[in-house]
Structures are given as structure tokens and as C-alpha cells.
Structure 1
Amino acid sequence: MSGTLVVAPTHGRSRVEAWEIDAREQVRDLVASYNALGDRGRFDDLLALFAPDATMDVGDGRTYVGVDEIRTIFTETRDSVRGGDHAGDGTGDKPPGPEYLQHHASTHVITVDGPESATGQAYFTVMTDAGVDHWGRYQDAYRVVDGRWRFASRRVRVDGTTPDGWADRRLSGDGEPTRTTGPERLLAEADIRQLVARYAVATDRRDLDAIVALFVPDVRVGRGSSGEPVVGRDALRENLAGQLAAIGVTILNVGTHQIDLAGPDDATGHVYCKAEVQDGDRWIHQAIRYDDRYRRVDGEWLFVRRIHRLFYGAEVGTNPVGLPPADWPNNHDGWGTIPADDETWQAFRAEHGGTPGGSP
């Protein structure tokens, strides 16, 4: 039994190695230390909890890379607290800031991938002297650095705020509450739906310039060969060109669209899409869900992130590839003239090649 501890079954397993129990306890202590040190303003000690090349995403459209950039998140929060009218007598130039912050983490789920790597997620609630201020989720990756568990990445998402509270005003960026109601909400939702529709049309036309213009300028595309973040519209254009050159005609039909406004300039959404895709000489139907994050930049709603998730993909009963030209409206079945007639489609194929579209 040396090195093994018998515990209650976990996810179908009856044995957990002693090193895994130790890893879980160290990770729990790591998350607790993050909250305690941050609330006390001990930022040097807090930053020591991160790997040197760690990343942090707090939902502002930017990924902070390395401890120096991550430090600015906490110093700006500190300045926001200190910058308020703590006297509450109207003499300050900003609404009252909280006297203190208390971060409480709960429901911490840890997945240990190995002796030196793990992931986790937890809920958090932030209290101030005025009561509950805001709440949300942590999504983490952890790894061992110099014998101690550290944050490899941390993603923070605020799910809700107390109206007119400190976070509610701060997230709006102008001292006003972040709630969006009435006509403003309707206009924002209409603009976001147009954003999603433009993405579908531009994709089907292979208009790469139009697609990348729908994303924030510093959109994160992925990571390079050495692990560095790859960002920007040029990188996105190159990535999309490779993906779209591998397939032929696409037809994206956008349907159900849930939009959740987090403030005047920030929102998330889930979009259902039924797609038809030419894959060589096959014709595929797909059911897709896009998980989106949007931000309004200079008055225009843009994608911050778009994740493509697949319910299924399957060949159709009648394959349109190989059908004779429809010569519509003389015939209602057969191969049509779009997207081959679109100039952007022609330009894309001339530059990137790939499966030909148009009349077989």
C-alpha cells in the first residue's frame, strides 16, 4: 500500500495516488492565497504565485502575458479603490470606493492531468463594506515551477454585479452603472445580430477582409511554435485563409441567437447555425454552435472571440456536387451560379486555391 491511499470512488476510480492528493491540496492553497494576498495588497507575494510566462484574461479584450503585465491588473484595481470618494461627502472627484475587498472562492473543481499540470474552475464572490459587490468564475491552468504549484493561466469572468456598486460603475468605465435597458439594449442586440449575419455572408463569399474587420484589432488567434500569443487581424486572416482553402462552397444559415449584455460595451452570445459544406466531392450538413464574446469599440460591435463547436456533421441524402447547372429560374434543381459569381470568391480562389466552387 506504500504510496497509495484508498478513498471513496472519484469519477469511476477507486484509488487516488498520494501525490495527486498532495497536488490538489497545493492547488487549493494556491487559489486561497491568491485571494488573501490580493485583498491585503501584497502584490509582490501574489505575483509570485504565477509562472513567469503566465497569462491572465480578465474579460477586457486583452490577454496579459508575464508577471509584469499581470501586475498592472492589480495596481489599476488598487488605484480604482483608492481613487474613490472614501469620505462620502462629495469632495472626491469619483463615486465612493469600497473600504476593503474580500474575495471568496467556492466550488473549486480540480482536474489533475499529471504530477506537474492541472486545470481548475471555481466560483467567486467579492464583498465590500457595502455588502456583496460582484460575482463570477475563475478558469485556471496550473503547473509546477521550481517544485511549487503556480498559475499558468487565469481567466476571470464576472457574471453579475450589484446595481450601482463599485464593480458595476468600474466596469462601465465612466462611473455610471453597467446596466443596459430599453432602447439601448434593443439597439445593441440588433447590432450584434447584424455582426453575426455579416460573418456568415462574408464567410460564404470568402471575403477575408470583411471577416477580419468584424473582430477587435487585437484579436487572439492562438499561440506560436514557441508558445507566444499570436494576435491581430493579419494573423486571423492567415489562419482563416488556410481553413477555408481546404473546403469548397459553404452556406451558413444562422438561427437561434442568445445575447447576454454585460454592460454598454460588452456582451456574450450563443449562436446556432445549420451549415452546408462542400468537402471535396462530398456534401456535408453540420449543426454548429458558436460561443461568442463581443465588445463595442468606437461605437461598433465586434467579435472579441468566436469558438466553433460542432453538434454533428453528416453527408446529405442527395449530393449536389455533380448536378448539372440549374439554369434557374428555368429549373428549380441543379447547381447554381453562386458563390462562383462573387468577385471575392474568385479572388480568394485565385490567391489560395483549394476545392473549386461553382458549376462542376
Structure 2
Amino acid sequence: MSTDTLEARLERLESIEEIRQLAGKYSLSLDMRDLDAHVNLFAPDVRVGKDRVGRAHFKAWQTDTLRDQFTGTSHHLGQHIIEFADRDHATGVVYSKNEHECGGEWVIMQMLYWDDYERIDGRWYFRRRLPCYWYATDLNKPPIGDMKMRWPGREPYRGTFHELFPSWREFWAERPDKDRLPEVAAPAPLEQFLATMRRGTPAPRIRVR
């Protein structure tokens, strides 16, 4: 998105605020189980699974998931980074710390969302939300070690919290020479911070809860 003029800069700020409101509305509508409000935050032709399209399919999927797995939820948002591809398309990363009542267990979770946003007829919507989980575990059971996704009644499995960004594996694979100063790459171009961190890697495959 060009910001060469005052009008363009104001439009960018308004878009950033609307997108941030979108993320807040997502959490509130989900936690309060207002699924009409929830699915209307997504593009009308939102894709649901491999072969279903539309808000009605999304509402049906969300209804089944929420009724089957959770008595109640609370989603707490953290930092939100937003970058624009053009006037009507943007990407973002949102941290989220969540709590879930799952029968007799209270499951806490740390995750982030990788978002694609699109402006349609003057309003911003989610085009896609990719949830990347670090851990999920009962409140009284710290998620130390591997397989940090630990839902009641399921075998533990790995999340995808770090898979969006190659830097995690690179950091642990390197054995720096402490006698030499490390090289520092050039700063990422404007609106390319997230893309630079991703380094062209594909989105991870997300395991359904």
C-alpha cells in the first residue's frame, strides 16, 4: 500500500485499526458463541476444509467443534503485526493466550494466528486464519518437553507455533564462534518484515483439534 500522500497514510491507519478490531471481534464472538457475528467476519466465500465454501459451512463446522469439545473459552489477544500487499490485501500475525473448559479439565493454550485479510466492498474481512499452536495443557500440568499439545482424551502431538519461521530451527542448529562477531543482515524492506522472516517457506499443515 503506497503511503505517498496524506490521504493514503490516513487510509492505511484506518485499515490497520479496522483489521485490529476484526481480531478483537473474532475473539469476543467466538467466546460468546454468537456464530452469526463470528462467521460474518470472514469473506462470504470462505473456504472450509477441502471442498466446502461459504459462511453456512463455516458456521456448521464451528458449531460442531464448540459443542463437542468446549464448555467455555476465553481468547486473550497479544501483539498484532499487520503488513499490506496492496490497498485491499494484507497479512498479519496475532498472538493469543487462551483458556478452555473441557469437561473436568481446564486447558490453557499459547498460540499465534497467521492471517490473510481482504477488503471487500469497503470492509475488511478474514480471508484465512491459520492457527499455529505452541502448547495446550491442563492448568496444573506444565507443558515441559516435546508433544506440547495435550488435549483431554487425545494422544499428545506437536504444535506448529515455530514452523512459520525458519529462524527457530536455524538458531538451534547454529554453533556460533564466540570469538567472532556475527553478521547482521540488512533490515527488511517496508511492509516486508513478515515475508522476510518467513523466507518463502510454505504454511505448515495444521492438525485439527
Q: Which amino acid aligns with 2:88?
A: D
Q: Offset at 1:183?
A: 1.4
Number of residue pairs matched by the alignment: 136
2:112 to 289, 308, 316: 289
Query: Which residue number in structure 2 is paired with residue 163 of structure 1?
Result: none
Query: TM-score of the superposition, structure 2-length normalised?
Result: 0.63
Pair 1:259-2:82 in alignment: yes
Instruction: Name the CA distance, whole Å, in 1 between partners of 2:132 and 2:62.
Output: 16
Query: Which residue number in structure 2 is paired with residue 3 of structure 1?
Result: none
Instruction: Name the CA distance, whole Å, in 1 between partners of 2:65 and 2:31.
Output: 13
Instruction: Name the CA distance, whole Å, in 1 between partners of 2:112 and 2:29.
Output: 18
Query: Which residue number in structure 2 is paired with residue 186 of structure 1?
Result: 13
- The answer (yes or no) to whether the contact 1:270–1:292 under 8 Å persists in 2 is yes
Instruction: Name the CA distance, whole Å, in 1 between partners of 2:119 and 2:85.
Output: 11
Consecutive unaligned residues of structure 2, counting only runs of 5 or more, are: 142-209
Query: Which residue number in structure 2 is paired with residue 271 of structure 1?
Result: 94
1:204 to 11, 23, 31: 31
- The answer (yes or no) to whether the contact 1:221–1:231 under 8 Å persists in 2 is yes
Query: Which residue number in structure 1 is paired with residue 197 of structure 2?
Result: none
Query: Which residue number in structure 2 is paired with residue 231 of structure 1?
Result: 53
- The answer (yes or no) to whether the contact 1:179–1:262 under 8 Å persists in 2 is no
Pair 1:213-2:40 in alignment: yes
Instruction: Name the CA distance, whole Å, in 2 between partners of 1:301 and 1:279.
Output: 33
Instruction: Name the CA distance, whole Å, in 1 between partners of 2:33 and 2:40.
Output: 13
Task: Classify the secondary structure of the residue corresponding to 1:179.
Answer: coil
Tell me the alpha carbon deviations over residues 219-249 of structure 1, each in whole angstroms, 9 at most, x when there is no partner: 11112xxxxx210001101111111112111
Tell me the alpha carbon deviations over residues 84-142 of structure 1, each in whole angstroms, 9 at most, x when there is no partner: xxxxxxxxxxxxxxxxxxxxxxxxxxxxxxxxxxxxxxxxxxxxxxxxxxxxxxxxxxx
Tell me the alpha carbon deviations over residues 295-327 of structure 1, each in whole angstroms, 9 at most, x when there is no partner: 011111100001111011122139xxxxxxxxx
Query: Which residue number in structure 2 is paired with residue 298 of structure 1?
Result: 121
Q: Which amino acid aligns with 2:29?
A: A
Instruction: Name the CA distance, whole Å, in 1 between partners of 2:34 and 2:104.
Output: 23
Task: Classify the secondary structure of the residue corresponding to 2:49.
Answer: strand
Identical aligned pairs, as a percentage? 40
Per residue, is there more strand in 1 or in 2?
1
The RMSD of aligned alpha carbons is 1.4
Query: Which residue number in structure 2 is paired with residue 42 of structure 1?
Result: none
Query: Which residue number in structure 1 is paired with residue 206 of structure 2?
Result: none
After TM superposition, the runs of 4+ consecutive aligned structure 1 residues lying more than 3 A away are none
Query: TM-score of the superposition, structure 1-length normalised?
Result: 0.37
Q: Offset at 1:261?
A: 1.0
Q: Which amino acid aligns with 1:261?
A: F
Consecutive unaligned residues of structure 1, counting only runs of 5 or more, are: 1-177, 224-228, 319-360
Q: Which amino acid aligns with 1:279?
A: C
Q: Which amino acid aligns with 1:289?
A: L
Q: Which amino acid aligns with 1:186?
A: L
Instruction: Name the CA distance, whole Å, in 2 between partners of 1:230 and 1:311.
Output: 28
Q: Offset at 1:179?
A: 2.0
Higher relative contact order (CA 8 A, sep 6+): 2
Pair 1:313-2:136 in alignment: yes
Task: Classify the secondary structure of the residue corresponding to 1:218.
Answer: coil
